[in-house]
Structure 1
Amino acid sequence: MTKDHPSPTFTLISPEAEAFAAQAPNRDLSQPLDDLRAMLRKESEQGCMSVVEKTGITLSEQTIAGVPCMVITPPEPRMGRKLVYLFGGGFTLGSPFEDLPISASLAAKTGAVVIAPHYPLAPEHPHPAALDACTAVISSVLAETPGACLCGESAGGNLALAALHQLRETHGPQPKALALLSPFVDVINPGDSGRADRDPFLNQSEIEFFRSCYMPQNADPTHPDISPIYGSFDADFPPVFLTSGTRDHLLSGCVRLDHLLREAGADCTLRIWEGMWHVFEFYPEIPEADASLTEIAGFLNRHFAGA
């Protein structure tokens, strides 16, 4: 960090982040999805393997509740700590591997074994396939480890919140805490941040594409299984930590969710980072990413300690 932008406060966007945002690539969603997925995977490989080496985590695969999952084990795992992590990508892109910059860092910072489901992607597997898979994994992990926590980014944040609604409705086990990074809580995305459309890494046309892939024809976009912001919240809702940025395309949804949780008497913390974009924590090249992940890990650590 430079003298103009001291690292402890981040009162302004760091020069590293400003330069990184200026070089944001454009995604061509008109190409075949298999080609796009393969390209994104290839582009992420070097960075993800660097994160594995840096954090010292080990990777393995395990089937949980019939769903294949990546298991991310930190070098010094803490007994009884598990974190279910749901990757993002608009329900159509991504995998647990490509989200290692976030999940591996959280594993190392918390000592938790991270369970990341390979949930099925749309449009080959539209709603509710991904939600059913994630809910099954979360329920299984919580049954085995009642003190487990839950985390999701973007579409993974949608699935985490929707799954929690389902568990609460059926009086199933609930996580000790929930961390959501730029969650896609409303597939309609009606807020000001979507209209402003100033996020260098996510735009409204992509939102519309992801929604069309994920939602079955004639589905209700306001159903809590699809847009979990329309679910029920009360004072018994698990503690929530939300992160977003002033340029995040989904910032408005995060603000609305924070308001609903607080109004219901739930424990919610919303952290909005100056100048940051959609799931900026995904980019270890910028100092804000590690700073935010450290805050998220601190939140999770406090709730793991009370398990």
Structure 2
Amino acid sequence: MIDPEIAALVDLSRPPLTTAGIPERRANNRVVTDAELTRDGSVTFTEADADGVPVLVLRPTGDVQGPPVLHLHGGGMVAGTRRSDLHVLAEWVSELGVVLISPEYRLAPEHPHPAPVQDCYRTLTWMERNGFTSPVVAGTSAGGGLAAAVTLMARDYGGPPVSGQLLICPMLDDRCSTPSSHQFLDGTTWVRASNLTGWTALLGDARGGPDVSPFAAPARAADLSGLPRTYVDVGSVDVFRDEAVDYASRIWQAGGDAELHVWPGGCHGFDQLAPEAALSRRARATRIEWLRSVT
């Protein structure tokens, strides 16, 4: 059951995403304004080119503190921009004093795997060369899956160093076989049919098959050892719930450091869609405390 306050604030009647509906979904992306980015003057932003990947760089107007954050936006692998999600996440910059960098990675189905994760990893290497060292890699939904993938790439390729990964309702498993991936067919913000559309756009006929790379679907990684400090959170009313819980559990089993939160009554993206709800405020405050411990 979705938290009643969130249910009253969020449109739960949106039809599932289809391939034919991707252009409309992109056209209806929430537009984050300059005023939302600057948060009444506590944040400044500039555009940059990260080796061919357009990025948005948010900086605090005061002193920079702690490691930078590479944040990868959501959108089911098929939608979103470098401004997506930042109407809420700019508070990391204003409250913690971190620099946040958000890339405009290429989208499926026009640019299937490995294009999106290559753009995100390219941004990470650009950050290293430009003094933004040992970042926290964070992401929301599809961006959470990409953040997990980039962190695996950094481990497997020998860098750049990553100080932590923060995975918000992450999209991790193309097999879509967990109980929660079958549980939510309608009446919530991201349902099974939408999930299948996003994964198929990214992977085509390979989706669910034996040869999918963990850099496309991080749940496929056989070895989750050697990862940096990890924060995973997800709502209880989310198709991604069980794969998120499993990912954190497997990090523990591999001897790693993971913090897991399952927010009761939270639907997919609840804190972005209803940022003033009490549950959303608790979730965001808990993430900020974890980020503060890393910084």
TM-score (norm 1): 0.85
Task: Check if 1:187 corresponds to 2:178.
Answer: no
Cα displacement string for residues 157-183 of structure 1 (whole angstroms, at most 9, x for unaligned residues): 111111121221121122111100010
**Gap change, CA 1:152 and 1:79, over 3 Å in 2:** same
Is 2:152–2:227's contact at 8 Å kept on the other side of the alignment?
no
Task: Check if 1:136 corresponds to 2:122.
Answer: yes
Task: Check if 1:165 corresponds to 2:156.
Answer: no
**Gap change, CA 1:57 and 1:13, over 3 Å in 2:** farther
What is the distance in 1 between the residues matched to 2:182 and 2:134? 39
Task: Check if 1:17 corresponds to 2:3.
Answer: no
Question: Out of 63, 67, 90, which is 2:53 matched to?
Answer: 67
Task: Check if 1:211 corresponds to 2:199.
Answer: yes
SS of residue in 2 equivalent to 1:262: helix
Residue in 2 that maps onto 1:258:
248
- Residue 13 of structure 1 and its aligned partner are, at CA, apart by 7.2
- Residue 231 of structure 1 and its aligned partner are, at CA, apart by 1.5
- Residue 109 of structure 1 and its aligned partner are, at CA, apart by 2.5
Residue in 2 that maps onto 1:196:
183
What is the distance in 2 between the residues matched to 1:244 and 1:77? 32
SS of residue in 2 equivalent to 1:274: strand
Is 2:16–2:193's contact at 8 Å kept on the other side of the alignment?
no
Task: Check if 1:236 corresponds to 2:226.
Answer: yes
Residue in 2 that maps onto 1:223:
213
Question: Out of 71, 84, 97, which is 1:98 matched to?
Answer: 84
**Gap change, CA 1:217 and 1:196, over 3 Å in 2:** closer
Of 223-232 and 185-194, more deviation after overlay is shown by 223-232
The number of aligned residues is 288
What is the distance in 1 between the residues matched to 2:156 and 2:38? 41
Question: Out of 4, 22, 26, which is 1:33 matched to?
Answer: 22
Is 1:239–1:266's contact at 8 Å kept on the other side of the alignment?
yes
What is the distance in 2 between the residues matched to 1:139 and 1:233? 23
What is the distance in 2 between the residues matched to 1:88 and 1:54? 21
What is the distance in 1 between the residues matched to 2:192 and 2:3? 26
SS of residue in 1 equivalent to 2:47: strand
Cα displacement string for residues 174-202 of structure 1 (whole angstroms, at most 9, x for unaligned residues): 21111000101101221111111166100
- Residue 86 of structure 1 and its aligned partner are, at CA, apart by 0.2
- Residue 28 of structure 1 and its aligned partner are, at CA, apart by 6.1
Cα displacement string for residues 98-121 of structure 1 (whole angstroms, at most 9, x for unaligned residues): 211332122223211110000001
Of 211-220 and 48-57, more deviation after overlay is shown by 48-57
SS of residue in 2 equivalent to 1:69: strand
Question: Out of 267, 277, 280, which is 1:286 matched to?
Answer: 277
CA RMSD of aligned residues (A): 2.3
Name the aligned partner's letter for residue 206 of structure 1.
S
SS of residue in 1 equivalent to 2:286: helix
**Gap change, CA 1:269 and 1:170, over 3 Å in 2:** same
- Residue 302 of structure 1 and its aligned partner are, at CA, apart by 1.2
TM-score (norm 2): 0.89
What is the distance in 1 between the residues matched to 2:205 and 2:3? 43
Task: Check if 1:269 corresponds to 2:268.
Answer: no
**Gap change, CA 1:233 and 1:297, over 3 Å in 2:** farther
User: Identity of paired residues, percent?
Assistant: 24
What is the distance in 2 between the residues matched to 1:28 and 1:193? 16
- Residue 24 of structure 1 and its aligned partner are, at CA, apart by 2.2
SS of residue in 1 equivalent to 2:108: coil
Residue in 1 that maps onto 2:37:
52
Name the aligned partner's letter for residue 88 of structure 1.
G
